[in-house]
Amino acid sequence: MSKMFLITDFYNIKYLTGFGNKPLYDEQEVYLLVNDDKKYAITDSRYTLELKEKLKEYKVIDFTESNLTKAIKDIIAENEIDTLYFEKSISFRMYDEVLSKLEVNIIAQDKYIEDKRITKEKKEIDSISKACTITREVLETVQEKIDDGISEKDLADYIVSEMIKKGAEDVSFEPIVVSGNNSAIVHGMPSDKMIEDGELIICDVGCKVNGYCSDMTRTFKKGILSNEQEDIYYVVREAQQRARDAIEVGMELSELDKVAREYIEEEGYGEYFLHSLGHGVGLNVHEAPAVSKRSKDILKEGMVITIEPGIYIEGLGGVRIEDTMLVTKDGGIALTRK
């Protein structure tokens, strides 16, 4: 049986080739068609020259004068392919307009490349570490801005601007900067609201270096907090520390989630921990493995994950503390700490 694999996911293409600066899904039409013997990069005229210069091991096919379906059909015919594997995450539009028109067996392949991306090589870890250092250094300056008086949006803009000044090429995601009752919204977005005395402030931000992401959250305060606000902060901090300390190669990720979750439950705030403990970080800020109570994945050396427990109470506010962690044979190293 002669087979090939069609790769359409931006991050998987970036991982395999290094090509692509931003995930402009609707604009960057680049697809890979590969097997053990042949490698094709299929694109339109906007990227043909660049791909020919950067991807020497690929034969670059320009479909501008025809269409993507015909380009793939021609490759299939040339190589006498009878089975085409494709990523299960493919869009329905791609399936309907292209794959359904091919006269070969088509088989969905689930997470084949994503599984390879789970453990990082040294050059990937170096890029993530640099992004984490930039993020940490900027967040270390945030408390002064809060004390001086600032809105959520202005604080978010300041953080992004400072990360870029320090060498980040982009943000990992739109920054989450929320205060007061807004901080009880897990993924709230910054507003024009001024940060007031007696409020908790969540800053969840990250940046990219060489395409690789950081992800870090710190919870700040302005003025004097109530006893319960102080309490939930210290509960989250302790839960996060326990989970960081528990990282061990061979550990099931559901057990790691359990370390933080059980402590928060014991302290009486279990119903307010509204999300999983963390996720993988790499080219995408949210990628495999999932650090959740349902995860069956096992911690492996070279994984990069987040540890980010949180408590969110309407009328009181929220607390989340997050570090990006490298899994080593000796435990976890927080890349977002000195």
pLDDT tens across 29-46, in order?
899 999 999 999 999 998
pLDDT at 237 over 60: yes
pLDDT at 66 over 90: no
Closest CA to 298 of 249, 242, 240, 247: 249
Helix axes 253-266, 227-246, angle to 10 degrees: 150
pLDDT tens across 242-269, in order?
999 999 999 999 999 999 999 999 999 9
- Of 3.40.350.10, 3.30.70.260, 2.160.20.10, 3.40.47.10, the CATH number of 3-117 is 3.40.350.10
What is the pTM (predicted TM-score) of this model? 0.93
Mean per-residue pLDDT for 96-113?
Answer: 91
- DSSP alpha helix (H) spans, the chain: 10-17, 48-54, 68-78, 92-97, 112-117, 122-139, 142-148, 152-165, 227-246, 253-266
Give residue 25's pLDDT.
46
Mean per-residue pLDDT for 185-199?
Answer: 97
If one counts every other C-beta atom within 10 angstroms of the C-beta of residue 223, the result is 11
For the chain, which residues make up each domain, given as ranges? Answer: 3-117, 122-334
Domains 3-117 and 122-334 are alike in CATH topology: no
Phi/psi for 227 (5° steps) reads -60, -40
Structure tokens at 307: 């540890």
Give residue 1's pLDDT.
61
Give residue 267's pLDDT.
98
User: Domain 122-334: what homologous superfamily?
Assistant: Creatinase/methionine aminopeptidase superfamily (3.90.230.10)
Structure tokens at 336: 């977002």
